[in-house]
Amino acid sequence: MNDVLARCRLLAEATEEPGFITRTFLSEPMHAVHAHLRGWMERAGMSVFTDHAGNLRGLYPSARASSPRLFIGSHLDTVPRAGAFDGVLGVVLGVALIERLDGRRLPFEIEVIGFSEEEGVRFGLPFIGSRALIGDIDDQLLTMIADAIGAFGLVPSRIDEARAADDALGYLEFHIEQGPVLESLDLPLGVVETISGQNRLALLFEGQANHAGTTPMNLRQDALAGAAEWIGAVEREARAVAGAVATVGRVNVSPGASNVIPGSVATSLDVRHAEDAVRHDLVTRLLRCAEQTAADRCLTVSWEQRLDQAAVAMDSILVQMLERAVASSGRPVHRMSSGAGHDAMIVARRMPAAMLFLRSPGGISHHPDESVLAEDVAAALEVGERFLRELEQRHA
């Protein structure tokens, strides 16, 4: 368990921003992350390669000549100034499970995969790594990321080779909860049954930049004032919908001078809910509110949808297997939904998928204070071993 935590902290040292943990899609520090993981994977008896989407993949062979494959993984990129465990913990736990097999072969292959990108920081679009695994990289996205792939020493035109075979057994992801629910219940683990759907949009409020000292208040077309009014409305509307969350996490003001009325403001909008119809209705109301706010202030507003991801149910059979693994370990079973998006929701479009959450102390994530408890890591490893044993019995 301490090895798992120490490895995560070692990987955290690979960063674009000294003093913080920032590691985006195929940035230079990702080479160091791959090097460490490759060494651990190879010592565990895995053959390792990097596909042309930048996913690091370690294959542990089966006892049989031809057999299906179980994927275990998560992502290796981070948000800016992140913690040490989001994403990376799931990959390191996968390697630790292979190490615990101590060379014993199972009737199926196991591939531990470290996805190159999940957070959507570098290009504004998330899940690049897992989308490559399921064969969902379109020409527009490939054009956007091609230079980064080439700079990492990979070949953009070969990205289709990252696609998983059709006979995959499934996908298992370990991940910190990134919220306060498990801690509030004093539980180490949670079995995810649903991942909430989410919309991500980019909005642009446009008015008229002008002199801050000579333009009367009643003659201004202040884009920032309009955006700020709308941001307040986003909070009010989301609070009125049970289970909904809505966030404006990015605001770019132009021209950005203290003595100039803001002429344009680019903002983000992130909306999530476990029920797609409720989420779509909230998004519609928020966009209408943006239109009304702009009209009232003689502004214009436009938007572009960056993501419309449906809520995703985890595979019922794998969920039940995880529940039995938790119960047989002597720990309480708790089913829960995930408000955060994860690679599992993408992979689930191609193969059965399941997730196991580990408690997040303080409910803190996407922050340097993010942490995980050693005893929860031990619990997750035990549950993972029990899960593999049942899968082995099913395919004996």
Distance CA 293, CA 225 (A): 10
pLDDT of residue 1: 63
Q: Which SS3 state, helix, strand or coil, does residue 295 take?
A: helix
Closest among 11, 391, 341, 336 to 192, alpha carbons compared: 336
- CATH number, residue 189: 3.40.630.10
Question: Judging by beta carbons within 10 Å of its beta carbon (0-12, 13-18, 19+), is residue 119 exposed, middle or buried?
Answer: buried
Distance CA 208, CA 180 (A): 43
Query: Domain check: are 247 and 236 in the same one?
Result: yes
Read off the pLDDT of residues 2-22 as tens digits, 9 standing for 90 and up: 799 999 999 999 999 999 999
Query: Domain check: are 187 and 238 in the same one?
Result: no
Read off the pLDDT of residues 370-385 as tens digits, 9 standing for 90 and up: 999 999 999 999 999 9
Question: Could you tell me the two tokens for 175?
Answer: 């991940």
Residue 162 confidence (pLDDT) above 80: yes
Query: Domain check: are 23 and 161 in the same one?
Result: yes
**Domain-ending residue, one of 309, 341, 362:** 309
Mean pLDDT over the full length of the chain: 97
Distance CA 310, CA 315 (A): 15
Alpha-carbon torsion (254, 80, 120, 14), positive or negative: positive
Query: Domain check: are 349 and 291 in the same one?
Result: no
**Domain-ending residue, one of 290, 309, 328:** 309
Q: What is the average per-residue pLDDT within 297-322?
A: 96
pLDDT of residue 396: 83
Closest among 198, 201, 208 to 266, alpha carbons compared: 201
pLDDT of residue 65: 84
Query: Domain check: are 131 and 207 in the same one?
Result: no
Cα 385–chain centre separation: 24
* % of the chain with per-residue pLDDT over 70: 99
Distance CA 220, CA 369 (A): 42
Query: Domain check: are 367 and 250 in the same one?
Result: no
Query: Domain check: are 151 and 279 in the same one?
Result: no
Query: Domain check: are 17 and 163 in the same one?
Result: yes
How many structural domains is the chain composed of? 2
> For residue 26, what are the CA distances in angstroms to 19, 72, 98, 113, 133?
20, 21, 26, 15, 16
* pLDDT classification of 330: cutoffs 50, 70, 90: very high
**Domain-ending residue, one of 251, 284, 309:** 309
- CATH number, residue 302: 3.30.70.360
Query: Domain check: are 122 and 110 in the same one?
Result: yes
Q: What is the average per-residue pLDDT within 278-299?
A: 98
Tally of CB atoms within 10 A around 351: 22
Q: Can you give the residue range of the structural domain that contains 228?
A: 197-309
Query: Domain check: are 13 and 159 in the same one?
Result: yes
Query: Domain check: are 98 and 219 in the same one?
Result: no
The answer to whether the bond into 255 is cis (omega within 30° of 0) is: yes
| 241, 271 contact by CB (below 8 A) | no
| 154, 54 contact by CB (below 8 A) | yes
Read off the pLDDT of residues 37-47 as tens digits, 9 standing for 90 and up: 999 999 999 99
Read off the pLDDT of residues 85-135 as tens digits, 9 standing for 90 and up: 999 999 999 999 999 999 999 999 999 999 999 999 999 889 999 999 999
Query: Domain check: are 271 and 317 in the same one?
Result: no
Segment among 138-142, 223-227, 307-311 with least mean pLDDT: 307-311
Question: Could you tell me the two tokens for 35?
Answer: 């090097």
